[in-house]
Amino acid sequence: MERFNTRSIDELGMMVIPQDLRQRLGLESGSKLLLHPINTLAILYKIESDAGTDGFVFEMDDLGRIKLSQAIRAKFGWELKDKLAVYGVDNIIILKRDAA
C-alpha cells in the first residue's frame, strides 16, 4: 500500500485526490467513484455507471475534488479541516483520518 499524501477536508466538505494517483488510476473530470466503508477506512473504486450501485457515489470535478457529504463525514467522524491520509492499492483509493 503506497501512501500518496495527506489532504484536508476544506470548508465546503471537499478534498482533492492527488494528481499522481488520479493519473495512475485513469481518473479525470467526471469520473465516478463508489465509496465503500470498512470500519475506519473509506475505500473508493472507480465505476463506469452508478446504475444499480448501493452506496455513496461521487463525481470528480475538473480540479480532482470530490465532495464528502455531511452524512459521509458523520459516518467516519470526520470534521471540516480534518486531515486524511490518502493511500493507493491496485485500482482503489483508501482514505483514513491522519493520525499524525
pLDDT digits (tens), the chain, 100 positions:
677 789 999 999 999 999 999 999 999 999 999 999 999 999 999 998 777 677 789 999 999 999 999 999 999 999 999 999 999 988 899 999 997 6
Nearest to 23 by CA among 60, 77, 74: 60
Q: What is the pLDDT of residue 35?
A: 94
Which pLDDT does position 55 carry in this prediction? 76
What pLDDT does residue 100 have? 66
- Bridge partners, residue 89, by sequence: 92
Q: Which of 84, 96, 81, 1 is nearest to 43 (CA)?
A: 96
The count of structural domains within the chain is 1
CA 73 to chain centre: 11
* pLDDT score at 90: 86
Range of the domain at 76: 2-97
Q: What is the CATH number of the domain that holds 86?
A: 3.40.1550.20
> For residues 93 and 95, what is the distance between their CA atoms, to the nearest angstrom?
7
